Amino acid sequence: MQTFIDAVESFGGNLARVQWTYLSLAILCQLVKTAVASRAWRNVVAAAYPERRVPWTGLYGAYLAGVGVNAVIPARGGDVVKLLIAKRRVEGSTYTTLAATIAALMVFDLVVALALLIWAVSIGVLPSLHVLPHLPDFDFGWFFRHPRLALWIVGAIMVVLTIAGVWATRRIAAFRRRVAQGFAVFRDRPRYARTVASWQALDWALRLTTVYWFLRAFGIPADVQNTLLVQVTASLSTVFPFSPGGIGTEQALTLYVLAGEAKRSALLAFSVGQNLTITIVNGVLGFTAILVLLRTLHFRRVVAADAQSRLAEETPPA
C-alpha cells in the first residue's frame, strides 16, 4: 500500500506537468475501446442466440456497467451486473450461456496476453520468481512466500472445481447444452474471424494506443517496447483480482519493468495517473449505464432480487 500512497503523492506533484492533449487522446481511445469490446461480445451472444434479436446498445450498456463496477469493486463483481443486465436485454437468454459467451471472448485475449508475456520473458525484463515476492505492494506475493501452502490451496480449489464440473456434466444435461451454446461462434470459423476476432484485434490495438498516449501525457518515453511492457504489467495485475483494477501490483511491476526510463516519481505518477483516469472514466460510464438500464444505482438489491429466479431457471425439474 505504501507504494500506491507514494504514487498518489507523485501524481499530485507532477500534475502540472501532465500533457492534457495527450491525456485527452488516451481517454478518447479508452472510450472507443469499450464500444469495440462490447461489439465483439454482442456478436458472440448473437451467434449463441441466432433466432433472437440481440441489440448492441443493450449489451454495450451491460458491458459498461460491468467495467464500471469492476473499476471500484474487486473480485470481478462487475461481471455479475453485466450478466444481469444482458439477460434482461436478450429475450430467452440464460445466465449460463451468457457467462459462456464471456469465456469465449477470453480465448482471444488469453492468446494475445500469453504472446506478450512470452515476449517479455524472452527479453528478460520481468522480475524472476525470487524477486516477485519482495516487490512492494505485490498483491499475490504471499503465494510465493508460502509456496507449499499456496499449492495446497490451489490444489484444493482445483479439486472442488473438478468435482463440481464432473457433477454438472453428468447430472445436468441442460447445463452442458447452455455452455456449448455460448461457444457456438467457434463452429463457424469465418464468422468468428470476421465478427469477433477482428473486433478483438481492434480492441487490443486500442489498448496499446491508450497506453501510448498515457506515456506521452506523463512524459515517459513512449516507444513500442515500453508500451507493450506497460500492457503486460496491466494484464499480470488482473490475474488475481484482489484489488480494484490491480492497484498495487500494477504500480510495483511498472516500477520494475520501466526502471531507468524515467525518475521513480515520474513512473509512479504515470502509473497512478493512468489507473486513476481509467477508473474514473469506467466508473462514470458504468454507473451511468446502471442508472439508465436498471433505474437505480442500488444494483446489489437488483442482483439479490434476481437470485431466486436465476436459481429456479438454472435448476432442471426433477
109: which 3 cell numbers? 485475449
The answer to whether 62 and 82 have CB atoms below 8 angstroms apart is yes
Which of 46-50, 107-111, 234-238 is the least confident region? Answer: 234-238
98: which 3 cell numbers? 451468457
> In angstroms, rounded to a whole number, what is the distance separating the alpha carbons of residues 282 and 293?
16
What are the pLDDT digits (tens) for 251-302? 778 888 888 888 888 888 888 889 889 999 999 999 999 888 887 766 666 6
Smallest Cα–Cα separation from 88: which of 317, 315, 289?
Answer: 289
Is the pLDDT score of 201 beyond 80?
Answer: yes
Q: Give the mean model confidence (pLDDT) for residues 5-24.
A: 70
180: which 3 cell numbers? 456449448
The torsion angles phi and psi of 259, rounded to 5 degrees, stand at: -60, 130
Which of 49-53, 81-85, 128-132, 246-250 is the least confident region? Answer: 128-132
Report the predicted TM-score, pTM, of the whole model to 2 decimal places. Answer: 0.78
What single letter denotes the amino acid at residue 200?
Q
- Spell out the domain ranges in the chain: 2-314
DSSP state of 31: H
> In angstroms, rounded to a whole number, what is the distance separating the alpha carbons of residues 134 and 307?
41
What are the pLDDT digits (tens) for 40-62? 999 999 999 999 889 999 999 99
**Buried/exposed code over 226-236 (b: 16+ C-beta within 10 A; e: otherwise):** bbbbbbbbbbb
Which of 145-149, 260-264, 301-305 is the least confident region? Answer: 145-149
> In angstroms, rounded to a whole number, what is the distance separating the alpha carbons of residues 4 and 243?
12
More reliable by pLDDT, 82 or 163: 82
DSSP state of 259: B
